[in-house]
Amino acid sequence: MKNLKMYINGEWVESASGESITVINPSTGDQVALVPMGKAEDIDAAVRSARKAFESEEWQQTFRPHERGYILLEIAAKIRENKDDLAKLETIDVGKPLSQAYADVEAAARYFEYYAGMADKILGETIPVEYGIIDYTVREPVGVTAHIIPWNYPIQIISRSVAAAIATGNACVVKPAEDTPLTALKLAELFAETKLPKGILNIVTGYGYDAGTALCSHRDINHITFTGSVPTGMAVMKAAAENIVPVTLELGGKSPNIVFSDCDQDAALEWVVKSIIQNAGQTCSAGSRLLVEAEIKEEFVAKVVNRMKELKVGPGISDPDIGPILSKKQFERIESFIFAAEAEGIKVLTGGRGVDVEGGEGGSYFAPTVLDHVDPACKLAQEEIFGPVLSVFSFETEAEALQLANNTEFGLVTGIWTNDVKRAHRIANKVRSGQVFINNYGAGGGIQMPFGGYKKSGFGREKGLEALRNYTQLKNVALRYDG
């Protein structure tokens, strides 16, 4: 059990209240750390620290853009130097298999590398207006940015938004999920070893209803980045609206893999399974709906079921195929979907229940599950389950496949599996999702690829060059030099 502190103005501090939150290892149920229970007073201190640092001459004038890039490159190197510690912390915190945690740590390093290279390339334009006037635009940092991090991919998601925010010259206040704050605090340790001015990065641990609410409603925040559930995203938007603050929201999905009869079935099988079991299905972009052309449905689904039955479930540190569900509450939510499905006559082809795991007696583990004969309009087909549960549907025509793919309130990711290039592009053109993968799913982490959703999956984009727009504001300057 470790007693940790939060990071405000370059100092490690307790919460003003002196209260703490217990961090639990979901693989075992063991208590692994105590972190401060930050509240409004702590958020205010962090925001004031960030504002002072942002407005300082050191940051505004002395710290040149390429020097910001050097800091981010240094962090990328430090992440790799500490990859073993970070991966173990991520596994202990989230429960995910150790190999997946290592992949997340490497992705975090790549985010800092990527945005380090962009720090001195935030460009404006010159605009022809009329003779005697030079008109140009500049992109300036928005100021103090708020980052509310979810529990499922903490080191990846804090890295992708903080790296972009600092590259563009902002000061950050981060509120990691109360369940999984360990790698965020370790990242603060790495920043503390650099020349980054005090106050540019602040990390406040606390509950969403308390610290998160205070951060979203703070009058001195200039932008909010949030990843999480639709109801909480709505609350974030309402709080931001009170202060006319822009938000970037990524709110989950109900993503389909569309499998046509002419595809490479072995490749499709591999990624259909990976896309639903990664992090025990606790992934916003999980491929939770399998749409299969009727001609091959029985054959392909049998392959999926057999593969699911072969998967090993266990504590994350043992690097199984599937780790635990984060909490008992989340486990019971997944169970409730299955019970409702069975009551509706939906067929459970495999899984559908919790499993006992040696060495993980205090954790909550759910068997990889495949459900068939699912009504496209039912709750199971429409709502995000956030577990290793795959729902199967079949289609006869391309039009029917599209109708099924678009038949939810979400629109985050779509996978298309076909060797017909024309068909692939027709589907990609008409499907309503922010990312489309053809004969692959995820594209190696997609550091460079804009990520975000349509409909209730949110708006705005993380990752890639597009994310830089979140953290800059455009200024137009017109100079008359003649006449």
Distance CA 296, CA 163 (A): 45
| Residues carrying an active site annotation | 250
Partners of 416 in the β-ladder: 258, 438
- Tokens of residue 389, six digits: 């549960």
The helix (H) or strand (E) run that includes residue 115 is: helix 98-116
Residue 192's DSSP bridge partners are none
- Taking the CA atoms of residue 244, residue 248, residue 249 and residue 254 in that order, the dihedral angle to the nearest 10 degrees is 140
Q: How many other CB atoms are found less than 10 A from the CB of residue 270?
A: 13
Q: Which of 116, 10, 106 is nearest to 72 (CA)?
A: 116
CB under 8 Å to 57, separation ≥6 — which residues? none
Token pair recorded at residue 205: 């641990």
Asked if residues 434 and 452 have their Cβ atoms less than 8 Å apart, the reply is: yes
Measured distance CA(142)–CA(285) in Å, rounded: 29
Looking at residue 465, what DSSP letter applies?
Answer: G
User: CB-based burial of residue 105 (10 Å sphere; 0-12 exposed, 13-18 middle, 19+ buried)?
Assistant: buried
Give 313's strand partners.
322
Phi, psi of 21 (to 5 degrees): -120, 135
CB proximity list for 94: less than 8 A, separation 6 or greater:
26, 101, 151, 152, 153, 154, 180, 279, 316, 323, 326
251 and 453 Cβ atoms separated by less than 8 Å: yes
